[in-house]
Amino acid sequence: MKKVDMIVKCPFFYTMEGDGVGFKQNVAMLVDGGKILDFVEADIVDTEYKADEVLNMENHAIFPGFIDAHMHTFDDILRGLAQDTNNWMMYGVQPFENVTTEEEQFIGSKVGIIEAIKAGTTTLGDYGRIMDKTCAFIDKAGARGNIAQLVRSARFRVYNPGELYEFDDEAGEVSIKANLELFEKWHGKAGGRIRILFGPQGVDFISPEQLLKVQKIVKEKKTKLHMHVQQGDRETYQIVKRYGKRPTALLEEMDLLDKNLIAVHLTDCTDEEAAVIAKHGAGMIVNPASIGIIDGIVCPSVAFQEAGGNCALGSDQLPGNNCHNIIHEMKNVCLFNKIKYQNPEIMPAWRALRMATIEGAKAIGMDDITGSLEAGKQADFIAIRLDVPSMMPVYTYPMRNIVPNLVYSARGHEIDLSVVDGKIIMKGRKLVNIDEEECLEEVRKYPDIIGQKASREFFEIHGTNAIFMEEDKL
Ligand SMILES: [Zn+2]
């Protein structure tokens, strides 16, 4: 008998190996030393292997853990406060964001991270200003973090329409230094579960000199640049006015469109610009629900993929999405593109599942460790119940409906088990390392406090949601 740490028994494995979904059955998965050791025939596993932990997932299907590649959990304390409005920043989120403290933001982050893990996310691409505590919380939860710290030199203040952002190079330096400190403290830590990226907010929020400086650090440190790219007509306006060309052309000229870049949104990119970015080897993160709610736009992820690029999914933030649920994002990326192209074949369920797993891992440069269930990779996987209404009935012949059911019907509560690095982080819908109740209790008192602080500016700005309140529509 050979001894391994864990044996996973399940009727269906979706490994994501190859170009499809890597379907396997009549096998068991062996996990040892935090990694996937091998798949063996199900009927010989009991006679040839023993393990400390044997998972009998007989009514389940096993998938790689999902990757939520772009999140701003610092905004999660403001869930549901900024949707259904034009000028999301000014009319929506600003009155609330202006009054929240770092403590309040962190308390919101914890709830958002719990929500994401419970919906099957094992790799969290969080991005914000104060990330040290967030790294510690992700570490404690046992999840994987691909974390970016915000780098920016544009002053935080209200700008009039058409006004160019005012750069403060000193503030830019402070933010670069903070990103470096986070890198030194956390990169490769938590047993390798935390990676630190560098996060310039966008080419419009920093001088070209400082952006090139960050790029140099990224290359020296062998990490990645995680940056919003052409994220709306506002960015395009700023860059055209300042430099006489569009953001993608400027980034190309600056040699920033390379494999070190993870480009977020591409909201205002033409299909041709998206293709240029893909051909230079950068990855993309598309956030379908967030950009749908904030801007009413379907970003050009299909054009990016057709040009050969890898694209990940992201949930962005909660005052304008309003959830961290990659199952929703899979469904949204399919539906939105079917409608955009008036073509039901344009984005099938299996492709969205690849975006949430292996293609997402490639887009953010983590496919060496996660995104598929293959020997030698870290054992990051989830078990999805097939004996709940939203996944039933299960067909296996003449076609399998498990992937379509997951993408178009599941909502997240079907995720029964979550494992990262071969360690169980959620079992039976409960996080094993985090006191969920305590985190939920903590957040309860803040709506009153933040609401009081924000009320004057909320009614003064008199945005859509203030009008909805007055008209009894909320
Ligand atoms: Zn973002």
Over range 279-296, report the average pLDDT. Answer: 98
Q: What is the Cα–Cα distance from 374 to 449, expressed in whole angstroms?
A: 48
Q: Tell me, in angstroms, the distance from the centre of ligand 1 to residue 71's CA.
A: 7
Q: Tell me, in angstroms, the distance from the centre of ligand 1 to residue 365's CA.
A: 18
Q: Tell me, in angstroms, the distance from the centre of ligand 1 to residue 227's CA.
A: 8
Mean pLDDT of the chain: 97
Residue 356 main-chain phi, psi, to 5 deg: -80, -10
Residue 315 main-chain phi, psi, to 5 deg: -105, -10
Over range 17-41, report the average pLDDT. Answer: 98
Confidence of residue 56 (pLDDT cuts 50, 70, 90): very high
At the topology level, CATH places domain 2-64+372-431 in Urease, subunit C; domain 1 (2.30.40)
Q: Tell me, in angstroms, the distance from the centre of ligand 1 to residue 199's CA.
A: 10
Over range 227-232, report the average pLDDT. Answer: 96
Over range 227-239, report the average pLDDT. Answer: 95
Instruction: Identify the pLDDT of residue 371.
Output: 98
Tell me how many helices (H) and strands (E) the chain has: 18, 19
90 vs 264, higher pLDDT: 264
158 pLDDT more than 80: no
* pTM, two decimal places: 0.98
Joined together, the tokens standing for residue 197 give 């990226």
Show the DSSP H helices in 67-168 as ranges.
94-97, 102-118, 132-141
Q: Tell me, in angstroms, the distance from the centre of ligand 1 to residue 287's CA.
A: 9
- Does the fold of domain 66-363 match that of domain 2-64+372-431? no
* DSSP run (H or E) holding 221: helix 208-221
145 pLDDT more than 80: yes
Domain 66-363, CATH among 3.20.20.140, 1.10.3720.10, 3.50.40.10, 3.40.50.1010: 3.20.20.140
Q: Tell me, in angstroms, the distance from the centre of ligand 1 to residue 202's CA.
A: 10
Confidence of residue 162 (pLDDT cuts 50, 70, 90): confident
Instruction: Identify the pLDDT of residue 91.
Output: 84
Task: Give Cα separations from 76 to 16, 101, 106, 282 (angstroms).
Answer: 31, 12, 9, 28
* 129 closest CA partner among 97, 160, 87: 97
Q: How do residues 171-213 score in pLDDT, each as one tens digit?
A: 999 999 999 999 999 999 999 999 999 999 999 999 999 999 9
305 pLDDT more than 90: yes
Instruction: Identify the pLDDT of residue 37.
Output: 98
Over range 23-44, report the average pLDDT. Answer: 98
Residue identified by tokens 């803040």 is 446
Instruction: Identify the pLDDT of residue 385.
Output: 98
The string over 25-46, giving b where at least 16 C-beta atoms fall within 10 Å of a residue's C-beta and e elsewhere, is eebbbbbbebbbbebbeeeebe
**124 and 143 in contact (C-beta within 8 Å)?**
yes
Q: Tell me, in angstroms, the distance from the centre of ligand 1 to residue 231's CA.
A: 9
Q: Is 459 left (phi over 0), alpha (psi -120 to 50) or beta?
A: alpha
Q: Tell me, in angstroms, the distance from the centre of ligand 1 to residue 209's CA.
A: 22
Confidence of residue 156 (pLDDT cuts 50, 70, 90): confident
**386 and 371 in contact (C-beta within 8 Å)?**
no
Domain assignments of the chain as residue spans, ordered by start = 2-64+372-431, 66-363
Burial of 373 (0-12, 13-18, 19+ CB in 10 A): buried
Radius of gyration of the chain (CA): 22
**72 and 37 in contact (C-beta within 8 Å)?**
no
Burial of 430 (0-12, 13-18, 19+ CB in 10 A): exposed
Instruction: Identify the pLDDT of residue 161.
Output: 79
Instruction: Identify the pLDDT of residue 89.
Output: 86
Instruction: Identify the pLDDT of residue 159.
Output: 81
Residue identified by tokens 């109740």 is 437
Q: What is the Cα–Cα distance from 96 to 38, expressed in whole angstroms?
A: 50
